[in-house]
Amino acid sequence: MPKSILCAIDFSESSLNALKWAAELSAKFNTHLTVLYPYRLLQATKEDVIDVKKKNEELAARKFAALENDYLNGKVVSFDFTAEVGFLADRIEDHLRKNSILMMVIGKNMNSSSTENLDDLISHVKVPVVVIP
């Protein structure tokens, strides 16, 4: 499989800026773009965990679909969107292990729901990282 660009988003302004850059870079380098939305299941609920996961992923897919016109349409870019349960760093490292990634694009001020540190994440990945303000 050809190399792709990985862009992690959380729908914050910072991550949407990263998505814009990732789409531009993907078009420039003629690479596939994978947009990753990692999220956590933190709230206690009486609903079944599978149902909560499904609802979260459907909501994320709708949010992303609403962004496609502004960020991806009009660009000659193949892309996919995936929402996954887990910590940001874990989900990114998993994608890097399983896929051929050219570079990663991430927003500097993503609204991380954990104590994850962007500098720690960057120091552990083995691909170039573009950090967008």
Each residue's pLDDT expressed in tens, for the chain with a length of 133 residues: 578 999 999 999 999 999 999 999 999 999 999 999 999 887 666 778 888 899 999 999 999 999 888 888 777 789 999 999 998 889 999 999 999 999 999 998 876 544 457 778 888 888 999 999 8
Q: Where are the domains of the chain?
A: 4-132
- The whole-number pLDDT of residue 50 equals 86
- And the tokens for 30? 């003629």
CB 73 within 8 A of CB 27: no
Residue 114 is predicted with a pLDDT of 45
- Select the CATH number that applies to the domain covering 4-132 from these four: 3.40.50.620, 3.40.50.720, 1.10.10.10, 3.30.930.10: 3.40.50.620
> Which spans in 72-117 are helix H?
88-98
- Is 53 buried (19+), middle (13-18) or exposed (0-12) by CB count in 10 A? middle
The tokens 């949010």 sit on which residue? Answer: 63
